Structure 1
């Protein structure tokens, strides 16, 4: 039974409510109390009118459930617990007012009607104040109210909503548990998996995930997610952010948290309702991670059915999103440090090997000369060995010093007007012996027109020379190496391509880092320090250009492209 909307029997602004008896005529005129199961107020038991006067005058939440039907009366302070059920709950039976928890409340009230008392602290129930289940906690007391004959006529309910306090304790406990769980993880996917599982379970969600956002492509890449078993996993999916609605995208990119209680009804998502339904989303809570004014990731919480998200849930999701990002960045930084440390150790071992190699022939030649009995021809040969190997060692040391100066910004570029074709010719001349020695087939694809650049001649020659030298080292004898020149759209470029074994996929993202070098093989025993590409990247960047590596045109080998800004006409003419 639903009661029509009714005003309160007493003005809440009054300092004190009058006694119910004095107000009874006004009540009788204002409400159709005879329509309730209790009948006209004139026939109400005196115990009911007296108790109700106390309830209505009280400033703490109180409910009076009277008679076998538990007809409801309550005061102003109790209104929040009813939500949208107020004011129709006035005069309505308890079974209708609390239909969603009647299986919990009715046995307790039955005990009270039998003369007992019931109470508890932080009692947890899921009530529907606004049309959807909502977890609430209460300190409460159920006491019997005697009727005029001395029997139990009703149940007096006093309560305090402790939900905020309970949730604050739960949030603190959750944060401590999450911090402990994430502290020992050293893998980004493990961090995301652990955090989404813990928060998804805590919120009672159906799916939760963390996707990194690529602003250039407008794609959210979801590496890991968690589901309750009621929703399909989205792990591994790449979804365009625009597909979730223009308003949603605008809000998230602006750094705002998205709270949608009903995806089919919310005006921001209604147009995409089918898309949301297709992935099992009835309600969504989404938190963007904005760093340096850019959205870099999005944490999302999904419910399969409409659900009212609370401020506390939103705040917790925002907190966890930041913790996930910080933990992921920490893990990745630690991974990078470990990788850099490993590369440093490998480099030092390689450096020791490269320096030791020329020392052996130098030592042998020096011992021969020290005897003083060598023939003139032997002296000449020994001297030649010392000169050549010392030059090799000097070249290695020069490479180390060069990289150190460039990476620390101690190199000053001597800019001048250049034609990239001339730079390429000089680089080819420097590497001609290495290319000839190994029998490589060199193909040069020239540009039909000048390729004007403004830069340092020596350093640009060094860049192309390093690329050609790398290609010669990594390409088997008799292999093909191509140098192609060209340019368009305001830039000029030089591409060096070979048909060697290519760069391993796991090495490709780091190929321009210091000390990175591919695995050695017998056919490139002359080695090197793995500094050429790192030096080339830094020098190209100092010229305002870019350098990129990838597989060759036929899907094998390596192709490295250097792009430099085309010189402005003013620079060309001086």
Structure 2
């Protein structure tokens, strides 16, 4: 194909003078590009291409909306490895890495505006890595045949070397001036890192210090393009470098990596580096003698070929800056050391010059506050005032006393207590975030007028004898103001202060301290012995509990297997049912006892106190304990005054106390034994005593007989059972009544006696009300709905209720219940509380809206008073605790208007005294 815009394509000199790019253009298949075949090119394109080829400076043409590329031989080096794919291609693809910069500029040119400038920085990737180059350029519009701008003509010169040389000279002058001008470590470090980030454009420059113990680099300064990145005081893991690279740094060798994803030394650490935005990096070691102190980091967020000049300059910068920083640090340390020595000397003179305690402590507080650099300091005396308040503010410095008074007295928390107990210094970079601070902080920020404490330092002031005189406390509103050096200084100063304070009473307090130390050791030994005893009691209790729970499981399991046999007759089936009921009742009583002792010993039980006769309490207790006593053929005698003995107490709990004592006497007395229950009065107290001729108690057991889980040694057969909680429960209930308990035994097999002493009361005792047993009433069939996620429990209860003639619907979840149409005519809902998809409380509320006349019965394992209150608030009419006696549920259903043909009012009256015939 002839070259259409060549005036003399057949001239002999044409091929001889033709450039390499012209040969390539003539051979290029332009019909496959957006500009089409050469014959169809507009005249403007042909002329522009001819101009590009004729220019001796680098020239480049991008034509059309797809920016098809044409360029001459001088432009080829700019392309680097891109040269083979650039001709005829889209400029946006070839120069994708700089298109965000040049694209908007070319758009301006397409509007007819020529652009040009010197020193344009562009980070290009032409050899497989990024490099920053500088160009002087001219962008000119090229018009098409229609008079519109169709192309962009680019002519330019690569001035990278000249720009870098000038920038380097300017940077070195500024750096030298900074190193000469700055005299403090912090400002010098910040200024040099900022300058370096301005020189190494598009790079992060950071100064880090190595923490060998934590294996981290702490970022002290980090900048990019002259702007702080916010990375200061952050950390980088040492493991972002391989062990070999760490060894390089320790040897003083710079690490230079162009691309962490391809560098073989970075194979194991490439991923964490890239996650930190580090794709190419130069790490320059900063050593203090043989110790690696830190490093200078220079890194980019993309692969980049670091030049020898860049690396050499970075190393020179690090060397010069590090030398200057070490010099400044040494000077600062010297000045600080001199200042500290002057402060210590001045404080020492004050400590030695006065014996007035007030003057001395104020001087100590002032000097210590200045020594630590705190904004305010205080000394709290370890004592108590007339109101009994501990840790009294004695002296303060740097703040008015009113500011401290608003804080109140320090409490013995994890923050303050160690100081007043003579512990080591406590230092916190931010006390408001310290775990020892706990939840004591203000809920809505620091109140107005309070001291804003962030950095915190406290040191105990103890005499040479060990007595803790008080504590020095220091605060600062900024974090991380007190370091290890500060802590060491204040520790030494406090020691001097303590000597001055305590000098006059040294010998006396030393002798007292020796005695106190011996007492402390004795207390520790006693406490250890007591802890071991309680631990042993706990282990024994767990073993006993396991035994007591397994015992009823055996007959329950046997009875259940019996019920599965097809040949079992009705009598055996009835007997098996009675066994299961009896053993379940035993386990229920066991669990109730455990819950009761837990609630009583934790003070969760509220007594229902009334004026009552102990005579009636004794009769009720005898009636309840009679089955246990008669089961072992014991002879029970009761002695009580003829006149009433009146006390103020909870009738139910006092009966519980006596029943417990009577049952214990029956249990630990061999069959056919004798038990005496005696009531007697003194001037101010009534005494109830239970005496038996049973197994008695060892003298070692007596001091602990009322402790929780305490029992005498038992034989492996555990024939007497029990968990060792009864007497502990007795003691707690009696103490809640303002009384005392006593136990006595002459020794094993010599019987025992337990007495309960209660303060007498005046007034008339309230008679005992009792609900007479109602006759069984006929029950009409009802429609019932059971909701319980324990399917076995729900289905078995449904079977029992259906046997009573009721219609029963069973669901295992709240949502299924609400979605069912079967519950429309329900008379009573029996709901579990702990459902998986919704609480029984919420389910009751929702059902109540659609079934306002229905009754709601809670059937749950939660049986404490609070649980009953919650169910009542949720709208339940009744609350039954699992496992429930079926008779109790049947009685509730019999009272429902829907389930009885006629309602009868319950009868009440005064209980007749229980028959204690045969009891003398």
Structure with max Cα Rg? 2
Q: Identify which of structures 1 and 2 has the higher relative contact order when contacts are C-alpha pairs closer than 8 Å and 6+ apart.
A: 1
